[in-house]
Structure 1
């Protein structure tokens, strides 16, 4: 590939959204996240068979993904992952360019796939349309890494959905626990080209728009997030924690106190245990 073509193909990591796999527990997970002070969109239903509720922030969002009764065999590949954080999703500005770039970089990748989700609006339902480009094979353990191209971003980032009682304005950290951080992080350097990774205590990090992605060994995760996050008992990688930006920590503290939700201080703010947030540790930082 020529140098000019390489420049044209180069893509940058920008977090689009995160996926929390709740399987058949959508109602229970949604109730947990409302209790934690997130405003959720109405239940959406993908044309592929899965269903979701979203919490929309400034440039990224959180997706609670599961299935309705009787639909557990639709998109069955999704439900083989453990419940909890299971999707790291980057923005795509050109699905074909992302696909070609990943192939050029020797990353196993599936061809772009299109689907839609009806969105109920005051003027009637409209279809939010997407294309996803997913890293294939076993490159990602216990979850998925993919790109999302929004054909209709105006049906996702709506101002009336971006205000949350806990004050969250953005996802600013996504955390992967890995016994071999260098191996796990190397995938992302292949996807986006070096130099990408910054060494940090217990692993590596890299910037992805408003967020920083951390790949840390389990001991570093336990230390940094004061034991609030899960790790895999079998030693495989696990996506385990998120951190949200808030203007003041007083706002989430008041929500959690009113709801009777326990939280602990950690180096950068406060954190809620995975036990209270559908198997994901949730940090809040000002």
Structure 2
């Protein structure tokens, strides 16, 4: 069964505004990274899966894959420890994977620059029309999961779930389960595909779309107060231990839950 590696939020050419907004919401952002593929990013780390803001620089090489993707939730990324084996397994299951594609970005640690290195295996866009689904192998995880980036003023500590809307939820859930070496289970009006450390939920919808990621916090008090104080954020309490964070400028909805 696959594990969730990270969830991607596309900012296109609005990285500065996105980074400022997430910092104001109480997330600790890693220093800006510049990928060899022509994209830029900031991460919001947890001991497990993390959130990634991705975009393109104002000048220089610009990653077409990012430019061709919409704002908001933009990537559901699974972890692999062997990109070659993952490619072969996906092909054997009837998919048409591409890669592995190798790339890197500089990371400075204690004044010394290192290269964080990755390899990804991707699936054609038509495989999962809701958005990009791919696998990432971290060749230098010690440059990504670092203690100094793990603590967030708002109490962010995990990603628990990812929700996809589909006109054909059962078929979509079964395709996802096949790609993730998991199972598709009925879940209310939709379907659940369990991962090693999170759930992917597929719910009925008029069109295929990434609907929300569910973030866990030690408490919702801080994130709710920060969202209510910002003009570019909206907070809706769903129950005492859950709320919906909406960021209209990035067409983004994030479900927030308390671990209390």
Q: TM-score, normalised by structure 1?
A: 0.84
Alignment of 1:81-120 (within 5 A): 81-120=69-108
Structure whose residues are more often helix by fraction: 1
1:193 to partner: Cα distance:
4.1
Q: Gaps (5+ residues) in structure 1?
A: 1-11, 219-234
1:280 aligns with 2:224: no
Q: What does residue 55 of structure 2 align with?
A: 66
Is the 8 Å Cα contact of residues 22 and 29 (structure 1) preserved in structure 2?
Answer: yes
1:52 to partner: Cα distance:
0.6
1:170 aligns with 2:155: no
Is the 8 Å Cα contact of residues 206 and 213 (structure 1) preserved in structure 2?
Answer: yes
1:209 aligns with 2:196: yes
* Aligned pair partner of 2:187 in 200, 219, 231: 200
Is the 8 Å Cα contact of residues 84 and 240 (structure 1) preserved in structure 2?
Answer: no
Q: What does residue 248 of structure 1 align with?
A: 219
Cα distance in 2 for partners of 1:281, 1:128 equals 29
Cα distance in 2 for partners of 1:94, 1:240 equals 29
1:153 aligns with 2:141: yes
Q: What does residue 132 of structure 2 align with?
A: 144
Deviations 1:34-65 (A, max 9, x none): 12111111110000111111111121111111
Moved more, 55-64 or 174-183: 174-183
Is the 8 Å Cα contact of residues 2 and 80 (structure 2) preserved in structure 1?
Answer: no
* Aligned pair partner of 1:263 in 221, 224, 235: 235
CA RMSD of aligned residues (A): 1.8
Cα distance in 2 for partners of 1:29, 1:52 equals 11
Q: What does residue 239 of structure 1 align with?
A: 210
1:135 aligns with 2:123: yes
Q: What does residue 18 of structure 2 align with?
A: 29
**What is the total number of aligned residue pairs between the two structures?**
256
Deviations 1:23-42 (A, max 9, x none): 11111111111121111111
Q: Kindly tell me: are residues 90 and 193 of structure 1, through their superposed partners in 2, closer, same or farther at Cα, counting changes over 3 Å?
A: closer
Cα distance in 2 for partners of 1:113, 1:176 equals 26
Secondary structure of the 1:15 match is strand
Deviations 1:230-279 (A, max 9, x none): xxxxx431112111111222232333345464311125511112416x22
1:111 to partner: Cα distance:
2.2
Q: Kindly tell me: are residues 111 and 262 of structure 1, through their superposed partners in 2, closer, same or farther at Cα, counting changes over 3 Å?
A: closer
Q: TM-score, normalised by structure 2?
A: 0.92
Cα distance in 2 for partners of 1:185, 1:165 equals 35
Secondary structure of the 1:111 match is strand
